[in-house]
Chains A and B, each alone.
Chain A
Amino acid sequence: MTDVPHVPVGRRILANRLFLAVCVFCTGLAVCVLAVLIVSIVMDGVHRLSPDFIANFASRKPQEAGIRAPLVGSIWVCAICALTALPIGVGTAIYLEEFAKRGKFTEFIRINISNLSGVPSVVYGIIGLTAFSRFFGWRAGAAPIALGNPDSMLYLQLPFGSGVLAGGLTLALVVLPIVIVASQEAIRAVPNSLRQGSLALGSTRWQMVSQITLPASLPMIMTGAILAMSRAIGEAAPILVLGAPLLVLETPTNLMSDFTVLPMQVFNWMKRSKASFQEIAAAAIIVQLAVLMSFNAFAILVRQRLQTPLQ
Chain B
Amino acid sequence: MVSPAVAASTAASRGTPIPRAARDRSEVLVKTVLLSFSLLSIVTTFSIVAVLGFEAWRFFTGFPDTPGIGIIPFLTGTEWNPLLGGEQKFGVLPLVCGTLLVTFIAGAIALPIGLITAIFLSEYAPSRLRIVLKSLLEILAGVPTVVYGFFAVAIITPALQRFSDAFGTFNALSAGIAVGIMILPVVCSLSEDALRAVPQSLRDGSSALGGTKFDTSVKVVLPAALSGIMASFLLALTRAIGETMIVALAAGGLAQMTLNPTNPVQTMTGWIVDIFFGDAQANSVEYASSYAVAATLFLMTLVLTLVGTAILKRFREEYE
Residues of A bordering B, CB below 8 Å: 9, 12-13, 15-16, 19-20, 22-24, 26-27, 29-31, 33-34, 36-37, 40-41, 44, 87-88, 91-92, 94-96, 99-100, 108-109, 111-123, 125-127, 129-131, 136, 173, 176-177, 180, 194, 197-198, 201-207, 211-212, 215-216, 227, 230-231, 233-237, 240-241, 243, 263-264, 266-267, 270-271, 278, 281-282, 285, 288-289, 292-293, 295-296, 306, 308, 310
Q: A23-B117, A288-B147 are in contact. Are A204 and B38 (CB under 8 A)?
A: no
Whether B206 is near chain A, meaning CB under 8 Å from some CB there, is no
Tell me if A236 and B116 are in contact (CB < 8 A). no
A–B pairs, 15, beta carbons within 8 Å: A26-B112, A40-B151, A40-B155, A41-B150, A88-B37, A92-B38, A123-B297, A204-B24, A212-B7, A215-B2, A234-B147, A236-B146, A285-B147, A295-B142, A308-B1
Tell me if A237 and B298 are in contact (CB < 8 A). no
Chain B CB within 10 Å — which of A24, A27, A40 has the most?
Answer: A27
Tell me if B244 and A120 are in contact (CB < 8 A). yes
Q: How far is the CA of A210 from the CA of B11 in the complex (A)?
A: 11
Closest to A197 in B: B8
Whether B220 is near chain A, meaning CB under 8 Å from some CB there, is no
Q: How far is the CB of B76 from chain A (nearest CB, A)?
A: 23
Tell me if A206 and B272 are in contact (CB < 8 A). no
Q: How far is the CA of A271 from the CA of B125 in the complex (A)?
A: 42
Whether B286 is near chain A, meaning CB under 8 Å from some CB there, is no
Whether B320 is near chain A, meaning CB under 8 Å from some CB there, is no
Q: A116-B41, A211-B8, A266-B147 are in contact. Are A296 and B142 (CB under 8 A)?
A: yes
Tell me if B4 and A216 are in contact (CB < 8 A). yes
Contact with A along B1-43 (1 / 0, CB 8 A): 1111101110110000000000110110011011101101110
Tell me if A270 and B249 are in contact (CB < 8 A). yes
Tell me if B116 and A26 are in contact (CB < 8 A). yes
Residues of B within 8 Å of A, CB-based: how many? 93
Chain B CB within 10 Å — which of A111, A126, A130, A264 has the most?
Answer: A126
Contact with A along B232-263 (1 / 0, CB 8 A): 00010010011111001100000000000000
Closest to A180 in B: B41
Q: A123-B242, A206-B30, A267-B149 are in contact. Are A176 and B144 (CB under 8 A)?
A: no
Tell me if B151 and A27 are in contact (CB < 8 A). no
Tell me if A240 and B137 are in contact (CB < 8 A). no
Closest to A300 in B: B135
Tell me if A16 and B305 are in contact (CB < 8 A). no
**Cross-interface CB contact of B242 among A113, A119, A202, cutoff 8 Å:** A119
Q: Note all chain A residues with C-beta closer than 8 A to B145.
A: 234, 236-237
Tell me if B146 and A267 are in contact (CB < 8 A). yes
Q: Note all chain A residues with C-beta closer than 8 A to B139.
A: 34, 293, 296
Closest to A246 in B: B277
Tell me if A95 and B41 are in contact (CB < 8 A). no
Q: Note all chain B residues with C-beta closer than 8 A to A278.
A: 150, 153-154
Tell me if B238 and A41 are in contact (CB < 8 A). no
Tell me if B242 and A289 are in contact (CB < 8 A). no
Q: Note all chain A residues with C-beta closer than 8 A to B12.
A: 201-203
Residues of B bordering A, CB below 8 Å: 1-5, 7-9, 11-12, 23-24, 26-27, 30-31, 33-35, 37-38, 40-42, 44-45, 47-48, 51-52, 112-113, 116-117, 119-121, 124-125, 133, 136-140, 142-147, 149-151, 153-155, 181, 184, 188, 210, 212-215, 217-218, 235, 238, 241-245, 248-249, 269, 272-273, 276-277, 290-291, 294, 297-298, 301-302, 304-306, 308-309
Tell me if B301 and A113 are in contact (CB < 8 A). no
Q: Note all chain B residues with C-beta closer than 8 A to A88.
A: 37, 40
Q: How far is the CA of A277 from the CA of B34 in the complex (A)?
A: 48
Closest to B270 in A: A122
**Cross-interface CB contact of B137 among A9, A30, A176, A236, cutoff 8 Å:** A30
Q: Note all chain B residues with C-beta closer than 8 A to A114.
A: 305, 309
Q: Note all chain A residues with C-beta closer than 8 A to B290.
A: 126
**Cross-interface CB contact of B147 among A26, A241, A289, cutoff 8 Å:** A289
Q: How far is the CB of B29 from chain A (nearest CB, A)?
A: 9
**Cross-interface CB contact of A112 among B42, B188, B277, cutoff 8 Å:** B42
Closest to A22 in B: B116
Q: How far is the CB of B279 from chain A (nearest CB, A)?
A: 10
Tell me if B124 and A123 are in contact (CB < 8 A). no
Q: A40-B155, A126-B52 are in contact. Are A111 and B146 (CB under 8 A)?
A: no
Q: How far is the CB of B231 from chain A (nearest CB, A)?
A: 10
Closest to A219 in B: B1
Q: A91-B38, A194-B5 are in contact. Are A118 and B302 (CB under 8 A)?
A: yes
**Cross-interface CB contact of A116 among B1, B45, B117, B213, cutoff 8 Å:** B45
**Cross-interface CB contact of A92 among B41, B113, B149, B214, cutoff 8 Å:** B41
Q: How far is the CB of A174 from chain B (nearest CB, A)?
A: 11
Q: How far is the CA of A276 from the CA of B210 in the complex (A)?
A: 61
Tell me if B27 and A204 are in contact (CB < 8 A). yes
Q: How far is the CB of A21 from chain B (nearest CB, A)?
A: 11
**Cross-interface CB contact of B113 among A29, A235, A282, cutoff 8 Å:** A29
